[in-house]
Structure 1
Amino acid sequence: MPIILNQNPEQIARDKIDEMLREAGWLVQSKIKVDLSAGKGVAVREYQTEVGPADYVLFVNRKPVGIIEAKREDEGHRLTVVEEQSSNYANAKLKYLNNDPLPFVYESTGTITRFTDYRDPKPRGRNVFSFHQPKTITEWLRTDKSLRERLLSIPTLDETGLRPAQIVAINNLEHSFKKNRPKALIQMATGAGKTFTAATFIYRLLKHADARRVLFLVDTKNLGEQAEQEFMTFQPNDDNRKFTELYNVQRLTSSYIANDSQVCISTIQRLYSILKGEELDESAELDNPNENSWLQNKMAKNKAIPVEYTAEVPIEQFDFIVIDECHRSIYNLWKQVLDYFDAFLIGLTATPDKRTIGFFEENMVSEYTYEQSVIDGVNVPYNVYHIETEISKNGAVVESGWWIDRRDKLTRAERRNLEDEDTAYFKNDLDKKVVNPSQIRNIIREYKRALKTTIYPNRIDENGEYEVPKTLVFAKTDSHADDIIKIIRKEFDEGNDFCKKVTYKIEEDPKSVLNRFRNSYYPRIAVTVDMIATGTDVKPLEVLLFMRDVKSINYFEQMKGRGTRTINSDSLQLVTKTAKNKTHFVIVDAVGATKSKKTDSRPLERKPSVPMKDLLGAVTMGVADEDLFLSLANRLIRLEKQITEKEKEKLLEFSGGKNLKQITKELITAYDQDAIEQKAQKEIDKIPTQEQTPLLIEETKKKAQEQLILEASKTFNGELNGYLENVRKQHEQIIDSVNIDTVTKSEWETTSVDKAQQIVKDFSEYLEANKDEIKALSIFYNQPYNRRNITFKMIKEVMEKLQLEKPLLAPDYVWDAYTQLEEVKSQQPKDELTALVSLIRRVCGIDNELKAFDKTIDENFKNWMFKQNAGQHNRFTTEQVEWLRMIKDHVVSSYHIEIDDLDYTPFDAKGGKGKMHQLFGNQMNDIINELNEVLAA
């Protein structure tokens, strides 16, 4: 079969450009066969202008609209140089026509394409994946102004209801838009309202800049659902209607994108599959795919199957793309999705790393750190409490001669086994190769003890029972989570509702469990592997218990972010009755997670023995290279010889009827050159000889290999991968019930003590700095004899000023700091103002130790009564004593009593001022003055 080999580089570029134009809906015509009525969009080659023939002139609805300047592929680096040339063509008169300058100008090699819209205020070329569709250009021409010009007229932001950090982010972002910056990064601490900020600026883009469609991109289904809820509840300042009443919001659950949707919410996995023309296995949306180290490694070294032009989803489908959690969603495989669209990119993250900042071209329009959010009272700070056990640190040895339980990992069935040799295991083997119930039990038992005595000691309910704060436990695996849950229920003497697992693999609806954890009394403790490690809002959380280590600093920061959320006291008490308010949260570190070495990003595996889980995940998500496919094929060949007939039958249910031999063969065939050429030749034989150009032959081979790769990779899905991984694993775990663990450390982290000292110091310095300005402080410091005159209003003034200027110095938090530094014998008062008075007295030196002021008043009252009765036996009658106790109780809550207070509750019900005068006569005023002085002593 003859093959034409004489095509020059210019013609190869033109062939590619022709194909790109056809894909985008243009009819490509030669100048001698022009028929502008043949379709909406026509691209005419070599059309004559007054300055020479233009490579392509674009016509829409018979009117000229644009120019394409074609260059050879090896001139891709020179496209910016030829902008003047293409501009000259665009400004020239076309033969036969008295046209205005053409606004849409492209320069292309068929591989690299640049585009300039000369309607823009300061026209600037940009790289685009392909050409825009004729119908899009028709829509653009209907408007008087381009999008970038419309952005200049966005009105001033109405700041009502917005936090300062949100105001800065939106104003700076819109300034970036007006400067035509294609990428912008918003760094905003977890809990600071990133999605609300996004909903605000998206609303403004739709309303004031007439944006056609905005994409809100996430990387897990869970985050997509949360974003949808945020848009459903968002109400703008200038309209009484909800966002979803004004604009159509569509969360993609298939490949269909509605024409009338103005906001699309999608996982990046789904969008990638749409652009690849493949069905998405929904399990791919459950976990963050960037936690797969093999996936990252292969994509860092090799190109994944590239996305291709999709007419149903053109490059201009979205004007703006908002990328949530962008620190993990913008690289490698996923970067192709972002490069495909001709859109502004806005990244949202709490934890950007160097790569994130680089991707967004260092255009960080706002930076709001966790530390700043804590200072502002947007988030709460945290303390670290360490629990360490002997086996957690050093492992143990299961000695020969013992009868030991062994548990099947897949079925969890147990059998007894007489160990015939010693088995040593280390801390990294725990809950994988070996399960030691004593190790888990001792951590949970110590956590329970530390909760009651040290971490949150003042949580006794009206029945005298300890109320466990809402706790989230991070486990290593689903199996590990099951073991933890069983032991928690036993150690806390509680039932099933007390502790629940929240992962995607539970039988119960995980969203239902999560909602109960967030909004209901039970469960008190939730155990997760990674479903609520990031991006999930559970405001009442007060403890994070780490029973798994984390090597990525970004991932660890995201996990910590689950505890940072603020919550008002009323909402908190709906789920935790004994909690007054959330001033901080506690990280209980049982595995050294806070001390282990962290990296900027997830470590890239470079070992020959890459986990099969990662190989499976990479193939499933579209990574395609020979090394990957052959590595996986090799693993499956070995596995095929190991698994039982029953397991082979079960596998067919998840693989679409393919056995391991067939799956393996497809993986190998995808990179077998003979198989590729044989498949390509069948297609080439269908093409007339005169049309068989080298480019066409290469394209046919490329498509043949892509089909083989697709055939091999589409077999894999979440269920099959999970089954293969479970079957591959060593079938049994050793249950070490022989080695009994002991707690070796249970204490606050040193930095927590340092932090406590700093808090006490800051509180003392604040009081000192304001002692002359605030009346109550002035009395405590300078006129201690006047303490009897301090009123509720005065203490309230101190509290309000403290909350406004130093939210981090809340009385609860300062009290907790004192408990870490000295022995505090009395419990913290339930009333926050009373706690504040107690702290002020301690700082001023009135009390040598921190004591609850309500207890001080009680003691002072008892002492006073004792003296009264000692001087003259039973000085007061029973009714008088009842009134004196009412006065004491009033001082406990109001710090001071006036004569006029006797006309109000509870005194009015007993006869008020008149009754007291009847009981005490002329001594009434003296007794009130004396009690004010004595009780406040």
Structure 2
Amino acid sequence: MSNYGYSIFSFHKPETIAEWLKKGKSLRERLLTIPALDGTGLRPAQIVAVNNLEHSFKKNRPKALIQMATGAGKTFTAATFVYRLLKHVDAKRILFLVDTKNLGEQAEQEFMTFQPNDDNRKFTELYNVQRLSSSYIASDSQVCISTIQRLYSILKGEELDESAELDNPNENSWLQNKMSKNKAVPVEYTPKVPIEQFDFIVIDECHRSIYNLWKQVLDYFDAFLIGLTATPDKRTFGFFNENVVSQYTYEESVTDGVNVPYDVYTIETEISQKGETIKAGWFVDRRDKLTRKKRWQQEDEDTEYKRNDLDKKVVNPSQIRNIIREYKKALKTTIYPKRVDSTGEYEVPKTLVFAKTDSHADDIIKIIREEFDEGNDFCKKVTYKIEEDPKSVLNRFRNSYYPRIAVTVDMIATGTDVKPLEVLLFMRDVKSINYFEQMKGRGTRTINNDSLQMVSRTAKNKTHFVIVDAVGATKSKKTDSRPLERQKSVPMKDLLSAVTMGVADEDLFLSLANRLIRLEKQLTEKEKEKLLEYSGGKNLKQMTKELIMAFDADEIATNAQAEIDKIPVQDRTPADIESSRNEAQQELIIQAATTFNGQLNTYLENVRKEHDQIIDSINIDTVTKSEWDTTSIDKATEVVKDFTEYLEANKDEIKALSIFYNQPYNRREITFKMIKDVFDKLKLEKPVLAPETVWNAYATLEEVKNEQPKDELTALVSLVRRACGIDKELQPFDKTIEKNFNEWLFQQHAGKHNRFTEEQLDWLRMIKDHVVSSYHIALDDLDYTPFDAQGGKGKMYQLFGSEMNSIIEELNEVLAA
């Protein structure tokens, strides 16, 4: 036991204890004197998280969980408290633990750009940050960024193939069950990486990859553990001893204006819902999944396919085409109808499409380019399997005009920031609630108007994003994890993962060997040659033999005999013989298991699938539903209700609202400043009720005939007038002023031929235009632009004489009516 009351993996090094004694105050004592946080530049939720975490440290709680909505700045929060621990607590080294290489690179970028509010220098100018790409941990690094896979391999004393860091090792329930029953290769004490190597470990996305096998990595170190996640589950709360120091939900982040809300638009087609049948005798294409080569053949029997068979067993181009065609149409008419540029061309908002497989992604991209009549740059695939550098494509998607649409399988499903995204198009369903929430999180990011318009020129601002659900993803039943599977139906992918992760189990090795024996008979010569590139020159027969021999008693005995022979016969004990056999078996297990790596596993997983897909080009699909989801209508109703209630609650406090509600005869007195006060108060207290959001909510519920005014304040006046009953339907206030002005002019001319001269009419129009932008005109305004250039107050008096004041008062009243 350590001196502060919890189990440790091993003893601390004597040199470490000597160093601690030299320092005087212990780490835990130093934590007690950490100074108060200066919250400048931090959001309220981030301040709460840092303060509560430091309070937890002072209470000597070894584990703490920060739950913070995606997009609310988890990594920035982490950089803040890491900086404070290094500066004020003199922490020696802090580990930032991730589960994919992509997240590690993003964390490194965050630390590189982080500038504390009490120093002019960047974080990396003050402290050394090292992202581990080998087993070497620099002695002078104060922040280490590593995947949990890499750290596990370091503690096992093995090198790690980088491909193993591409996907998160979020085990399914079969694998979890396997690991609880069978001892995985355990980590052992490593003098190069002592248990006191890190004082604090920050675990990013801690809901998914710190259990079972990987838990050993965290149990090894004597360090405070801080978990970061937007989507904790029961296991997460349990692991962190229910010490949740901060909870900041997506709903709270939307209310605070930190994230944007979303609406759901549903597209359904006949075949998406019900499937179809390919009849015997039809001539159809069959396509090789891997090479995508086609051959034409006549079907011998009927093939009925259901919705779940689509894009796996059968590809129906018409089904994909109808969804994409309907998406294009809905974009222009309903989803984002105002995105037309000065040339009259429609600008597609930045869209991320989630596909089922790499092959499915290729089909979608081809059809998107055809339906939108655009070239390759318009729509790109972003997966690890593309020929282009995926990081470069992702960077262009984030920061450049093209591509407008990106299609991914799962590379940018989680933890990747693409702020200008406005649409997520789901063409695959997801059963995991956590994964689905992470995918939705790609659209929640806020972005300032200038940055958005750099990549989407016709967008005014990002007030929300839209989920276009073409597969029922928003309605399907979600679970915490996949249901338990029987061994015989375990996917090959999971068997390969288990072996790679060190599960040493006879059933597992024999099951995988059996699959590889069958696979060997199916592969072409070219596929066998390709496989040698990933396996270090081993063919499937050799891999199979090693898997079987790892648990073969005769092979183990033969290999152990050489070690046993080194011990004189008279000195041999049963324990020696047993030990030699265990060591021999361990060597055989490692020899068999280390062949498998990320690239080989991916190749085996893909090459062993059914080679053929049927291309059903005969059954033509039709769209059966294309509309806002009922949840969007409910949300719109809620937004209008909240807006109306907010105005009611503040009508006596805010002067402009008081006039609109209680003193309609004073509407002529409403000034630009009054409207700005309403807008500023609304933005501060209820950012979720931005004018565009409320306008869109009315448009969802009512037939709004006119477009929203470009100016937010003008839109706000329209909304206030509608909410308090002045207007029976939502009308742009600038158009209302125009209409009132024309009606007034008509009345002035009725029976009074040419009451106003052309020059007077020009001045009246200038006054009307001023009221459009400022809501009111005062006599003193005539001394400023645009009136001053035309002669100002004096010129108007010349034109209108003693009628000048009465005309200004009359126009203020008439135009605001």
Normalised by the shorter chain, which TM-score bucket? Answer: over 0.9
Query: Is the contact made by 1:292 and 1:617 (CA closer than 8 Å) also made in structure 2?
Result: no
Number of the residue aligned with 1:583: 463
In the alignment, which residue of structure 2 is the partner of 1:130?
Answer: 10
Q: Structure 1 residues 367 and 693 mapped into 2: Cα distance closer, same or farther (>3 Å)? A: farther
Q: Secondary structure at the match of 2:766?
A: helix
> Cα 1:845–1:660, aligned 2, differ >3 Å: closer, same or farther?
same
Question: 1:219 maps to which residue?
Answer: 99
Following TM superposition, by how much is the alpha carbon of 1:347 offset from its aligned partner in structure 2, in angstroms? 0.5
The offset of 1:607, in angstroms, is 5.3
Partner of 1:342: 222
**What is the letter of the counterpart of residue 284 of structure 1?**
A
Alignment match, 1:521: 401
Q: Aligned-pair distance for 1:605?
A: 3.0
- Which stretch of structure 1 is more off in the superposition, 388-397 or 577-586? 577-586
Deviation at 1:137, TM superposition (A): 2.0
1:480 to 320, 345, 360: 360
Q: TM-score, normalised by structure 2?
A: 0.97
Q: Does 1:786 align with 2:673?
A: no
Counterparts of residues 202-351 of structure 1 (less than 5 Å): 202-290=82-170, 294-351=174-231
Task: Find the aligned partners of 2:556 and 2:749 in 1 and give their Cα distance.
Answer: 106
Structure 1 residue 216: deviation in Å? 0.2
Task: Using the TM superposition, give the Cα deviation of residue 703 of structure 1 relative to its aligned residue in structure 2, in angstroms.
Answer: 2.9
Task: Return the match for 2:271 from 391, 398, 403.
Answer: 391
Aligned-partner Cα distance in 2 for 1:210–1:487: 57
Relative to 1, partners in 2 of residues 1:208 and 1:769: Cα closer, same or farther, differing over 3 Å? Answer: same
Amino acid at match of 1:224: G
Structure 2 distance, partners of 1:223, 1:700, is: 42
C-alpha deviations, 1:856-897, integer Å up to 9, x for none? 112222222222333333333333333222222221111111
Post-superposition offset of 1:579: 2.0
Q: 1:677 to 1:319 in 2, by over 3 A?
A: farther
* CA pair 333-885 structure 1, distance change in 2 beyond 3 A: same
* Alpha-carbon shift at residue 461 of structure 1 (Å): 2.0
Query: 1:40-51 maps to which residues of 2 (within 5 A)?
Result: none
Deviation, 1:623, is: 2.7
Aligned to 2:382: 502
* 2:543 aligns with one of 656, 663, 667: 663
| 1:683 matched residue in structure 2 | 563
| C-alpha separation in 1, matches of 2:568 and 2:721 | 97
Matched, 1:193 2:73: yes
Amino acid at match of 1:543: V
Q: CA deviation at 1:303?
A: 2.4
Deviates further, 666-675 or 846-855: 666-675
Aligned CA distance change for structure 1 residues 271 and 461 (closer, same or farther; 3 Å): same
How far did residue 291 of structure 1 move?
Answer: 5.4
Report how many residues are paired.
817
- Aligned pairs for 1:621-636 (under 5 A) are 621-636=501-516
- Cα distance, 1:391 vs. partner? 0.6
Equivalent position of 2:328 in the other structure: 448
Where 1:817 maps in the other structure, the secondary structure is: helix
Show structure 2 runs of 5+ residues with no match.
none
TM-score (norm 1): 0.85
The residue aligned with 1:463 is 343
- 2 CA distance for matches of 1:163 and 1:694? 66
Read off the aligned partner of 2:258 and give its amino acid letter: V
* C-alpha deviation, 1:692, in angstroms: 5.5
Change in 2 beyond 3 A, CA 1:934/1:199: same
Per the alignment, residue 773 of structure 1 pairs with: 653
Aligned-pair identity (%): 83
Q: Alpha-carbon deviation of 1:647?
A: 2.2
Whole-Å Cα distance in 2 between the matches of residues 262 and 527 of structure 1? 38
Structure 1 counterpart of 2:428, from 548, 552, 563: 548
**Cα displacement string for residues 147-173 of structure 1 (whole angstroms, at most 9, x for unaligned residues):** 112211211111221111111111111
Q: CA deviation at 1:635?
A: 0.4
**Does structure 1 conserve the Cα–Cα contact (< 8 Å) formed by 2:353 and 2:408?**
yes
Single out whichever of 207-216 and 487-496 deviates more from structure 2: 487-496
3-state DSSP of counterpart to 1:563: coil
- 1:115 and 2:5 are equivalent in the alignment: no
Does the 8 Å contact 1:545/1:589 carry over to 2?
A: yes
In structure 2, C-alpha distance between the alignment counterparts of 1:274 and 1:910, rounded to whole Å: 79
Cα deviation, residue 899, structure 1: 2.0
The change in CA–CA distance for 1:689 and 1:569 in structure 2 (over 3 A counts) is farther
Deviations 1:70-112 (A, max 9, x none): xxxxxxxxxxxxxxxxxxxxxxxxxxxxxxxxxxxxxxxxxxx
**Closer/same/farther in 2, CA of residues 695 and 165 from structure 1, 3 Å limit:** farther
| 1:347 maps to amino acid | G
Map 1:595-634 to 2 at 5 A: 595-606=475-486, 608-634=488-514
Deviation at residue 718 of structure 1 after TM alignment: 2.4
Determine the C-alpha separation between the residues in 2 that align with 1:146 and 1:691. Answer: 50
Deviates more, 1:321-330 or 1:858-867: 858-867
Aligned partner of residue 348 in structure 1, secondary structure: strand
User: In 1, Cα distance between the equivalents of 2:655 and 2:799?
Assistant: 35
1:205-237 deviations in Å (ceiling 9; x for gaps):
111111111000000011001100111111112
SS in 2 for 1:290: coil
SS at structure 2 position matched to 1:393: helix
Gaps of 5+ in 1: 1-113, 117-123
Deviation string 1:412-445 (CA, Å, 9 cap, x unpaired) is 1122222222111111111111111111111111
Task: Assess, with a 3 A threshold, how the Cα gap between structure 1 residues 799 and 687 changes in structure 2: closer, same or farther.
Answer: farther
Q: CA 1:291 to 1:572, structure 2 compared with 1: closer, same or farther past 3 Å?
A: farther
Q: Higher mean Cα deviation, 674-683 or 783-792? A: 674-683
Q: Does 1:156 align with 2:66?
A: no
1:751 aligns with 2:631: yes
Shift of 1:174: 1.1
- Bigger RCO (CA 8 Å, 6+ sep): 2
Report the CA distance shift for 1:684/1:320 in structure 2 as closer, same or farther (over 3 A). farther
Q: Answer yes or no: is the 8 Å Cα contact 1:297–1:606 preserved in 2.
A: no
Pair member with larger Rg: 1
Partners of 1:699 and 1:161 in 2: CA distance: 60
Q: CA deviation at 1:771?
A: 0.8
CA shift for structure 1 position 294: 4.8
User: What's the offset of the Cα at 1:275?
Assistant: 1.1
Per the TM alignment, residue 697 of structure 1 is displaced from its structure 2 partner at its CA by 4.7
SS at match of 2:202: strand
SS in structure 2 opposite 1:126? coil
CA RMSD of aligned residues (A): 1.7
Using the alignment, how far apart are the partners of 2:507 and 2:756 within structure 1? 95
8 Å CA contact retained: 2:173, 2:481: no
Counterpart of 1:562 in 2: which secondary structure? coil
The residue number in structure 2 matching 1:179 is 59
Partner of 2:748: 868
Residue 798 of structure 1 aligns with an amino acid whose one-letter code is V
Deviates more, 1:871-880 or 1:831-840: 871-880
